[in-house]
């Protein structure tokens, strides 16, 4: 089952997150995560999938000590997770959560973005510069004086991402960050993520159920029953029907279509996205 796969480009990069036999559970008899070992290299975009309650959220919360691990070793950006290193590790990891309302700390967009910067004890000029830079970059510079009640869900999530990126973490974790957004805001979130990948400064961990988001990532970690069920590429995940069923996932639409066409005896290769599928299908009209 275990099939350690690393993308060619990321292979050389050193690991930024290492878990060694990590466990977590309120009750030692029934741990939520058990004996989990894995490592993630810098610059990778990793999807974490699994059915509800399988410990995805728990796993990412262990990384920056929002939850205390019961056993094992966690190393993040060269810091071994201990009581003393928690603050250093939290500086390396930014986290965007599911509910855009509940992670809005400030009374206005501006305050929310500077909240983290104040905690880093940055001088005023630096805060001002980072605030301006990030708000222009994410297109929220016209919203700075707005209250959360005046923003849409997508805008609030954008603010949450801005607040995190302004702190310049190397690792950004999205904990089902798109699950409460509409289709349009989801696509905007994907654009931000693609932009972050293009910059190459971020390691991205994304908990998600969304097929398109999984397909965009480099690597998929599938959790099941408190352990790692698979460590594969998105393509391998979507080819494995049993694994999909285990994780309560669905194939992306072009994959479903390609599969059904194959069953009808039409030879179509599995496409990467909708456009590729269309490109492969239209010549068959002529060849007949």
Rg (CA), the chain: 20
Asked whether position 170 contacts other proteins by CB under 8 A, the answer is no
Total of chain residues touching other proteins, rule CB under 8 A = 42
Residues 143-162 that bind other proteins (CB under 8 A): 145, 147-150
CB 79 → other proteins: shortest distance, Å? 14
Of 55, 94, 226, 234, which lies in the binding site for other proteins, with binding defined by CB under 8 A? 94
| Per-residue interface string for the shown chain with other proteins, residues 126-145, x marking contact by CB under 8 A | -xx----------------x
Asked whether position 101 contacts other proteins by CB under 8 A, the answer is yes
Integer angstrom CA distances of residue 106 from 4, 42, 118, 163, 166: 42, 31, 12, 10, 15
Of 66, 192, 257, 270, which lies in the binding site for other proteins, with binding defined by CB under 8 A? 66
Integer angstrom CA distances of residue 194 from 20, 138, 176, 177: 30, 13, 17, 15
Asked whether position 111 contacts other proteins by CB under 8 A, the answer is yes
Asked whether position 178 contacts other proteins by CB under 8 A, the answer is no
Asked whether position 201 contacts other proteins by CB under 8 A, the answer is no
DSSP characters for 67-128? S--SEEEEEETTEE-STTTHHHHHHHEEEE-S-TTTT--SSSHHHHHHHHHHHTT--HHHHH
Cα(58)–Cα(65) distance, integer angstroms: 10
DSSP state of 149: G
The two tokens of residue 277 are 């599928």
Query: In this complex, which beta carbon is closest to other proteins, that of residue 162 or of residue 215?
Result: 162
Of 22, 76, 95, 140, which lies in the binding site for other proteins, with binding defined by CB under 8 A? 95
CB 12 → other proteins: shortest distance, Å? 30
Query: In this complex, which beta carbon is closest to other proteins, that of residue 109 or of residue 216?
Result: 109
Asked whether position 255 contacts other proteins by CB under 8 A, the answer is no
Spatial CA neighbour of 193 closest among 27, 47, 26: 47
The two tokens of residue 114 are 């500077």
Asked whether position 55 contacts other proteins by CB under 8 A, the answer is no
Asked whether position 284 contacts other proteins by CB under 8 A, the answer is no
Asked whether position 26 contacts other proteins by CB under 8 A, the answer is no
CB 149 → other proteins: shortest distance, Å? 5
Spatial CA neighbour of 46 closest among 206, 174, 167: 206
DSSP-derived pairing of the beta strands 227-232 and 71-76? unpaired
Asked whether position 73 contacts other proteins by CB under 8 A, the answer is no
Number of neighbouring beta carbons within 10 Å of residue 57: 20
Q: Which residues bind other proteins (CB under 8 A)?
A: 61, 64, 66, 87, 90-91, 93-95, 97, 99, 101-108, 110-111, 114-124, 127-128, 145, 147-150, 163-164, 167
């Amino acid at each position: 089952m275990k099939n350690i796969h690393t993308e060619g480009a990321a292979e050389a990069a050193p690991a930024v997150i290492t878990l060694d036999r990590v466990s977590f559970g309120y009750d030692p008899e029934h741990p939520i995560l058990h004996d989990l070992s894995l490592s993630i290299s810098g610059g990778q975009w990793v999807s974490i999938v699994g059915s509800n309650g399988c410990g995805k959220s728990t796993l990412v919360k262990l990384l920056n000590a929002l939850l205390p691990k019961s056993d094992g070793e966690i190393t993040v950006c060269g810091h071994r997770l201990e009581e003393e290193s928690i603050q250093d590790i939290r500086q390396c990891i930014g986290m965007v959560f599911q509910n855009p309302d509940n992670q809005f700390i400030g009374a206005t967009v501006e305050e929310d973005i500077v909240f983290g910067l104040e905690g880093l004890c940055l001088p005023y000029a630096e805060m001002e510069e980072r605030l301006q830079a990030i708000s222009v970059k994410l297109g929220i510079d016209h919203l700075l004086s707005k209250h959360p009640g005046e923003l849409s869900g997508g805008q609030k999530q954008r603010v949450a991402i801005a607040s995190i990126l302004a702190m310049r973490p190397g690792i950004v974790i999205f904990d089902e960050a798109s699950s409460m957004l509409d289709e349009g805001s989801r696509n905007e979130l994907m654009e931000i993520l693609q932009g972050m990948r293009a910059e190459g400064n971020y390691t991205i961990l994304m908990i998600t159920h969304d097929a398109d988001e999984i397909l965009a990532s480099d690597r998929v970690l599938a959790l099941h029953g408190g352990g790692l069920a698979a460590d594969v590429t998105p393509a391998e995940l979507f080819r494995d029907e049993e694994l999909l069923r285990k994780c309560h996932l669905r194939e992306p639409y072009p994959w479903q279509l390609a599969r059904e066409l194959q069953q009808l005896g039409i030879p179509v290769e599995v496409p990467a996205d909708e456009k590729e599928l269309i490109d492969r299908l239209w010549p068959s009209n002529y060849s007949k």
